[in-house]
Structure 1
Amino acid sequence: MHDSSIFNIRIDFEKSKGSYIFDKNTGHAYLDFFGLYASLPLGYNHPIFQTKEFLAESSRLASIKIPNCEIISDEAQSFLKEFSGHPSMKHFKYFHFSCTGALAIEAAIKIAIDKKSTSKPCIISLKESFHGINSYGGFVTDRFYPASLRLEGLPDFGWPKIHNPKIVYRNGEIDKQKTDESLAQFLKEFEACIKKFGAENIPAFLVEPIQATYGDSYFPQGFFTKSRELCDKYNICLIFDEIQTGFGATGKMWYFEHFGIIPDIVAFGKKTQVSGVMAKAAYGKTFETPIRLEVTWDGSLLDMVRCKYILQAYKKYNILENAIARGKEIVKGLKELSALKNLRATGLLVAFDFESAVERDDVFKTAVQKRLICNKTRDRSIRLRPNLNLNAKEAQEAVSIFQDIYAHRGVR
């Protein structure tokens, strides 16, 4: 179970606090900018989880895991009311919950297929995308390293993965000409899919609004505008995979709120604790048959309760505002390091590149030695994924570690 561990940390649940994970193996606390694969919304032992209400509610549920599809509970209904009632969910009528992100992607695709009613469904996704490795999630995920290690030799239905029109950088600045050319190539390949498969056989276009696993690849505003226009034109469902970008990571509950394009279905997970989808009213066909998406464990009730209290903490402690402020502080500090290339961030989703994989690996290794853990990705990138309750002192500590690493290298 632990053979793939990067950090070999044996967590002490009681001693871990705030943004620090305490390691029993070394007896040290590490500043956690890894964030349990970006799934840690409030840090360790947040006060909201010390309240009498949370402790009583969670202890009632700890000894029994019920199938939510069959057994009704006050706790599940209370969670659904709070979750679906959040102002950021106002565009969506239907909600379904699952035990992991890849199954949320599968549910989203099935909902889109049901609406299209085609016997030859073809889902369009993008190159360099990651949507999980299980079932339909694996079919739409591109086979880049290291996802290829988990998907090599497994089928993908032959569904098209078209050009990724990510923002292109040159000397640390956005190369507008190359970015525009890339967007034009995407549009060309999208239209080619329409011609090849027929719009009537394409239920959905699936997008990570920031391609997180590939290294935080961003898209220009025009990509989202054109995607919405194309999906409306050809009656195709626009699905956003917000499993990594959603639930406050960017300073808004959902990344799509930053650019005013509303998807038809959103898949969520990680920071929400329980994964799932939310769909617009037009996508109700699936929900007319209550068992259509159901499995035994449609999400854990304990995860739902934890999510409910996280939502309460977001409001009580101004968590989204904090994410924006801390993100700006981190970016301001890291901008002083010219060795870090293509620094990009929204809220507390932060990433940067290096000149080489050797430099990246050395900086990563040194950061861990200085008791900062983060997430290296692709060939020469690092992603920072702190929790959203990060305080100013912790943010500055992380910046100072990177500054110290380069000070010892004689580089700024």
Structure 2
Amino acid sequence: MPEIKIPAEEVFPVLKENILVDGFHVVIDLERSHGSVIVDALHGNEYLDCYGYFATLPLGHNHPKMKDEGFRRSLMTAALANPANSDIYSQEFAAFVKIFRTLAVPDDFRYLFFVAGGALAVENAMKAAFDWKVQKNRVRGIEGGGDKILHFKDAFHGRSGYTLSVTNTDPTKTEGFPQFDWPRISTPYIEFPIDRGAVAKKEEAACAEIEAAFERDPAGIAAILIEPIQAEGGDHHFRPDFFSKLREYANRHEALLIFDEVQTGLGVTGTMWAYEQTSVTPDLICFGKKTQVCGIMSTRRIDEIKTNVFHTSSRINSTWGGNLTDMVRCARYLEIINEDGLVENAAIVGAHLKEGLNELSGDFESVTNVRGTGLLVAMDLPSGDVRNRVWQGCWDRGLAVLACGPRSIRLRPPLVFSEDQAAEALGTLREVLENLG
């Protein structure tokens, strides 16, 4: 049988006949792309990758250790069929879970659940919280309730059923689709350089909204849901003290605290999970993107209800329970991340990247609000129009970057990104800014 592949010049014509083609005008060359460099099979152009498939690519392309023959045999074995992991088990599945537990799961977390897709990870975390709160209410003699998720403005948690009610970054993604009217709280994010007085006022306002929401419906709110860093909404960062307040509210009102770490997880912030840079441990973490397979992890707080979703058959489930091929790939990624110290690399190179962006901010009035943790960094431009021109200028000069929020550029390089590549990216950004006109 021939390879399942067509000439690069036929890719867009074939796709446009069948699907909406509104992504980047690049045909990825999966064989020639390497590390943090994307090769376009259509034109032969190379791009320094600060995009990373929307932060899903931890090692870039064709990492030498991914060519290990034993790993490739395991990957092929997993790929030839797609077992229903929820109902029938395999050696490959167990090997992945063991590696994931050892290298990625913090000690405070007891339970795991796997599913395909970050939105479904968040959705199942919400279902775990609904189930928990409803049973908590019954213990107190209250029937019903437990049917709301307190969440934040500028949040992106996915586009599936329940997550449509908490995602609110762009009306195009949610408008016209049925949604629940759940408490939506103002976002007290930091703008840099920090004005502590202004941030404190924003936090006070947000806390007043949270308290009012719990007063209106104390039995209704099942969970507080937040991204440790709001990515699509504008790379919004929060003070650690604000997370401590959320922890207090969740404890006081018998709600679960859920951190959506789909984009911030697996080392990009310079720690395995972003929450580890705070003094707060959430009850549930949603993971995905760089982990390849998505899902949730839970602390033992959920065991305050013994018949929770991690103990009741079919309460949460999916046919494939993730995807075995993704699991095998994730296991190898984790081994390499651990062997090569790539979480530490993200912290070191990310610091250089942010320092360079701050230098650009000092040289160009148009660059403001530089922020970042590890390799998850961003900057603001004066307007959406200027941001779009900078974005296009970067791509035209071979630097793949992303937009976010109303006027931000965000960088999402892989964990293997080097200091030399950071310097190259900063040089390209400088050139673009110098030529804005």
Residue 194 of structure 1 pairs with residue 220 of structure 2: no
Match of 1:89, SS state, is coil
Query: Which ranges in structure 2 are unaligned for 5 or more consecutive residues?
Result: 1-14, 138-143
Aligned to 1:90: 107
Whether 1:393 aligns to 2:420 is yes
Paired letter, 1:253: M
1:106-255 correspondence to structure 2 within 5 Å: 106-117=123-134, 119-120=144-145, 121-142=147-168, 144-145=169-170, 148-167=171-190, 169=191, 172-198=192-218, 200-255=219-274
User: 1:18 and 1:208 mapped to 2: Cα distance?
Assistant: 28
Partners of 1:385 and 1:87 in 2: how far apart? 20
Aligned counterpart for 1:102 among listed residues 96, 106, 119: 119
Q: Tell me the equivalent position of 2:316.
A: 293
CA contact (8 A) 1:88 1:254 kept: no
- Aligned to 1:203, the other structure's residue is in SS state strand
Q: Which amino acid aligns with 1:259?
A: T
Correspondent of 1:308 among 323, 326, 331? 331
Q: Secondary structure at the match of 2:360?
A: coil
Establish whether residue 346 from structure 1 lines up as the match of residue 377 from structure 2: no
> Is the partner of 1:364 in helix, strand or coil?
helix
Residue aligning to 2:26: 9
Q: Aligned pair 1:405/2:427, yes or no?
A: no
Q: Which residue does the alignment assign to 2:87?
A: 70
Q: Is the 8 A contact 2:104 2:272 kept in 1?
A: no
| Rounded Cα–Cα distance in structure 1 between residues aligned with 2:356 and 2:211 | 43
Matched, 1:325 2:352: no
Letter in structure 1 aligned against 2:46? A
**Over residues 268-322 of structure 1, what are the superposed CA-to-partner deviations in whole Å (9 max), with x where a residue is unaligned?**
0000000000001232411221322111121000101111011101111110111
In the TM superposition, what is the alpha-carbon distance from 1:90 to its structure 2 partner?
A: 1.0
What RMSD over aligned residues (CA atoms) do the two structures have, in Å? 1.5
Determine which of 34, 40, 45 is the counterpart of 2:57.
40
Residue 368 (structure 1) aligned to one of 385, 391, 395: 395
362-371 or 283-292, larger mean C-alpha shift: 283-292
Q: CA deviation at 1:408?
A: 3.7
The one-letter code of the counterpart of 2:107 is K
1:178: Cα distance to partner?
1.4
Partner of 2:98: 81
Aligned partner of 2:78 in structure 1 is 61
Structure 2 CA distance for partners of 1:88 and 1:296, relative to 1, 3 Å: closer
* Partner residue of 1:377 out of 404, 407, 421: 404
Instruction: Spell out, residue by residue over 1:369-412, the C-alpha distance to the aligned partner (whole angstroms, 9 max, x if none).
Output: 101111012221100000001122211111110122233458xx
Query: TM-score scaled by structure 2?
Result: 0.89
Q: Secondary structure at the match of 2:187?
A: coil
CA distance in 1, matches of 2:121, 2:55: 17
Question: Partner of 1:294: helix, strand, or coil?
Answer: coil
Aligned pair 1:262/2:281, yes or no? yes
Partners of 1:275 and 1:47 in 2: CA distance: 25
Residue 69 of structure 2 aligns with which residue?
52
**SS of residue matched to 1:149:** helix
CA distance, structure 2, for counterparts of residue 191 and residue 110 of structure 1: 23
Q: What secondary structure sits across from 1:10 in the alignment?
A: coil
Q: In structure 1, give the amino acid aligned to 2:312.
A: T
Separation in 1 of the partners of 2:433 and 2:311?
A: 59
- Check conservation: 1:48, 1:54, Cα contact below 8 A: no
Quick one: distance in 1 between partners of 2:301 and 2:237? Answer: 29
Q: Distance in 2 between matches of 1:87 and 1:109?
A: 22
The structural deviation recorded for 1:260 is 1.8
Q: Is the 8 A contact 2:223 2:256 kept in 1?
A: yes
CA–CA distance in 2 between the matches of 1:30 and 1:5?
19
| CA displacement 1:329-363 (0-9 Å, x = unmatched) | 11222222133211001000010001122221111
Q: Quick one: which amino acid aligns to residue 154 of structure 2?
A: E
Residue aligning to 1:31? 48
| Partner Cα distance (1:335, 1:191) in 2 | 37
Superposition TM-score, scaled by structure 1 size? 0.95
Q: Is the 8 A contact 1:122 1:197 kept in 2?
A: no
Contact 1:48 1:310 in 2 (8 A): no
Task: Give the SS at the match of 1:86.
Answer: helix
Report the CA distance between 1:241 and its aligned residue: 0.3
User: 2:104–2:334: 8 Å Cα contact kept in structure 1?
Assistant: no
Sequence identity percentage: 38
Alignment-derived partner of residue 278 in structure 1:
297
For residues 21 and 321 of structure 2, the distance between their equivalents in structure 1, rounded to whole angstroms, comes to: 27
Listed as ranges, the gaps of 5+ residues in structure 1 are none
**Amino acid across the alignment from 2:207:** L
Bigger shift: residues 14-23 or 87-96: 87-96
1:205 match: secondary structure: strand
Give the deviation of 1:88 after TM superposition.
4.4
Rounded Cα–Cα distance in structure 1 between residues aligned with 2:384 and 2:181? 32
Contact preservation (8 Å) 2:234, 2:408: yes
Once the 2 structures are TM-superposed, how far is the Cα of residue 87 of structure 1 from its aligned partner?
6.4
Q: CA deviation at 1:48?
A: 2.3
